[in-house]
A = this chain, B = another copy of it.
């Protein structure tokens, strides 16, 4: 039988998974809002970002309380410290969805993404969803192989990002600087979201092993 403290640690992990699922939905909705100029959906993502922020604060308070009252060591301590960092990364991933939605809203009723780039952005949204799905599983399972693998999916995102930038600087980009700026920022938002996911998966590695997984800056 588990004691209350370990039940509380499990509950913290579960909250991280719940937060990840919220971020996934926000990212999915943001991409749809962006590609279809869906203003109500963009507004929804923007409004719901507060929810993710509140969830982070609530989770961090619980984590701090356990740190203060339970004096955890070894892997229990790593669960709590890692939770503080994961929650910060997840909150930033929520911000990325928020930024994407704000760009969708700013350009409404037009779409921020011209036809030449919409397939690439759609693909970036798809890869982001895939990565966040895997991330939720990794947070729950703490599987080290899966956690290392996530970097490979991130390579896919980086490839799409380069493709996007390449299309913007090609001679026949017909949509001018404003559109190029929008897409540069959008590309960066998707790429950063995936980077945060990789960073979280590295923290899982640390959580399990107590060692840092080598980063490729």
Chain A residues in the interface with B (C-beta under 8 A): 49-50, 53, 57, 64, 67-68, 71-74, 77-78, 81, 84-85, 88, 95, 98, 165, 168-169, 173, 176-178, 180-181, 184-185, 188, 212, 215, 217
Contacts and interface: CB of A to CB of B under 8 A. Distances in A.
A81 B176 CA distance: 46
Secondary structure type dominating chain A contacts:
helix
A101 to B, nearest CB: 12
Contacts of A85: 84-85, 88
Given A177-B168, A188-B188, A212 B57 contact: yes
A217 B181 contact: no
Contact of A71 (B71, B84, B169): B71
B53 A215 contact: yes
Contact of A95 (B57, B98, B185, B217): B217
A6 to B, nearest CB: 17
A148 B188 CA distance: 29
B67 A81 contact: yes
B88 A64 contact: no
Contacts of A73: 68
A53 B73 CA distance: 25
A74 B181 CA distance: 46
Contact of A77 (B68, B177, B181, B217): B68
A74 B68 contact: yes
12 contacts: A57-B212, A64-B77, A68-B72, A81-B84, A85-B85, A85-B88, A95-B217, A98-B217, A168-B181, A169-B177, A180-B180, A184-B185
